Amino acid sequence: MNIQRRNNNGLPMLSITLLALLGVPRVIAHDLQWVDPHGIINRLLVFIPPIVWILYVLGKRHHVQYPFLPLMAIGAVYGLFLGITHQLLWNMAFETPPALGGNLADLPAAANSFLTRTFAFISSIVTGTVVGSVCGIAATLLHTLVKGKLRG
């Protein structure tokens, strides 16, 4: 098995996975409340991984012609890691677990837990994919600008 085989997006799955893992320390620090959510450390943990993703993909321009797709893939895998990490740290992240309200407030505790965890997991994947897509848009614009300057 060749783990360096490139996907249709131009990056090997190993690279996508390792780049996505760069975002996990922020998830852990957030869930365990190790950092001030408004502090500089948190901001660095938020912004450095996507910047690294963009720089890495743009640096691979010989293998990656269109940066949007690989960055969206990195974001989706990051979202998966985000969801898994949130699930693993769920009981440590909340003194009182989230509860449904309104018409769903009377659900049994197991159903409430299942629904809140399921929606949190799906939300994590969507969040990661959106972050990757925003990075992909930014990288596509940068790629176009750099390509134009190299030609001109």
pLDDT in tens, the chain (152 residues): 455 555 667 789 999 999 999 999 999 999 999 999 999 999 999 999 999 999 999 998 777 788 999 999 999 999 999 999 999 999 999 888 888 999 889 999 999 999 999 999 999 999 999 999 999 999 999 988 876 665 55
Residue 26 near residue 46, CB atoms below 8 Å: yes
Residue 112 near residue 104, CB atoms below 8 Å: yes
Q: Does the model's pTM come out above 0.85?
A: yes
Provide the residue type at 150 as one letter: L
